[in-house]
């Protein structure tokens, strides 16, 4: 039986509470995500999917409700504990890549492990192995601003993997990619799932959520789940990662 790695219970997030510009981003969200699943949070802009993704990833705190990560309620933990959970559990792929300009590729990838006790040569070896798997090791010494959008996306994914996370969170990962690069990204995500990574993607792009490797779609609108019983999609056992 697969284990539950993420569980939200009646989660609500309010920005600027009790002020004229108060916004209720998500309301009373309860979901469960199992180890090894690929789950899409589907919805238009303003539906709350990115907010929910940030709550799941311990980048934001809920106003109400519980967020349980690997059996532990993290909603009210002090920031120092949340930092450790983020470092050990999650890999983040941001919509705008969030790479550091003026810094080369391999240093961008290594960055998340600098605050840890890992030795520098170990970090570098791991970064090189990930870049090689993503077919971008040849650009290791290039500054990130000189890369194409597809190359920057691969570097962002490599950085998300450097801490060997069990859960990958991706926010609109195809937003700045053309069709060919989006297809390349899907192959990478499929391969990560075959390596037993749990993947949660926030997107409104049908190119992502109509792919066969997605197990479930949770549709959101106006901060609530539109489909109370999320769609179940059979996993295609015969698909392989063709880099």
Full pLDDT tens readout for the chain, 243 residues:
569 999 999 999 999 999 999 999 999 999 999 999 999 999 999 999 999 999 999 999 999 999 999 999 999 999 999 998 998 999 999 888 889 999 999 999 999 888 777 889 999 999 999 999 999 999 999 999 999 999 999 999 999 999 999 999 999 999 889 999 999 999 999 999 999 999 999 999 999 999 889 999 999 999 999 976 555 555 544 444 443
User: How many residues can be counted in the chain?
Assistant: 243
Does residue 161 form part of some domain? yes
| Burial class, 228, CB count within 10 angstroms (exposed 0-12 / middle 13-18 / buried 19+) | exposed
Does residue 242 form part of some domain? no
Quote the CA–CA distance of 104 and 61 in Å, as a whole number: 33
Domain count of the fold of the chain = 1
Domain harbouring 162, CATH code:
3.40.50.300
Does residue 243 form part of some domain? no
Does residue 238 form part of some domain? no
Does residue 75 form part of some domain? yes
Res 239: pLDDT: 45
Does residue 131 form part of some domain? yes
Res 241: pLDDT: 42
Does residue 239 form part of some domain? no
Domain, as residue range, for 156: 4-232
Res 113: pLDDT: 87
Does residue 110 form part of some domain? yes
């Amino acid at each position: 039986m697969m284990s539950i790695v993420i569980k939200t219970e009646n989660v609500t997030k309010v920005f600027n509470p009790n002020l004229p510009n108060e916004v209720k981003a998500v309301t009373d969200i309860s979901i469960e995500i199992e180890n090894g699943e690929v789950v899409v949070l589907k919805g238009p802009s303003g539906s709350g999917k990115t907010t929910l993704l940030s709550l799941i990833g311990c980048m934001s705190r809920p106003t109400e409700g519980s967020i349980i990560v690997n059996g532990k309620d993290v909603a009210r933990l002090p920031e120092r504990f949340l930092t450790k959970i983020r470092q050990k559990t999650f890999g983040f792929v941001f919509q705008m890549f969030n790479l550091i300009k003026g810094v080369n590729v391999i240093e961008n990838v290594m960055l998340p492990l600098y605050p840890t006790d890992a030795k520098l040569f170990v970090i570098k070896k791991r970064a090189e192995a990930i870049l090689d798997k993503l077919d971008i090791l040849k650009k290791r010494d290039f500054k990130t601003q000189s890369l194409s959008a597809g190359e920057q996306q691969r570097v962002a994914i490599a950085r998300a993997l450097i801490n060997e996370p069990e859960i990958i969170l991706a926010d609109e990962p195809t937003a700045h990619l053309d069709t060919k690069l989006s297809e390349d990204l899907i192959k990478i995500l499929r391969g990560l799932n075959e390596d037993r990574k749990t993947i949660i993607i926030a997107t409104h792009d049908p190119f992502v959520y109509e792919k066969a490797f997605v197990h479930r779609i949770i549709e959101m609108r106006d901060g609530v789940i539109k489909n109370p019983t999320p769609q179940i999609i059979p996993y295609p056992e015969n698909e392989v990662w063709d880099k």
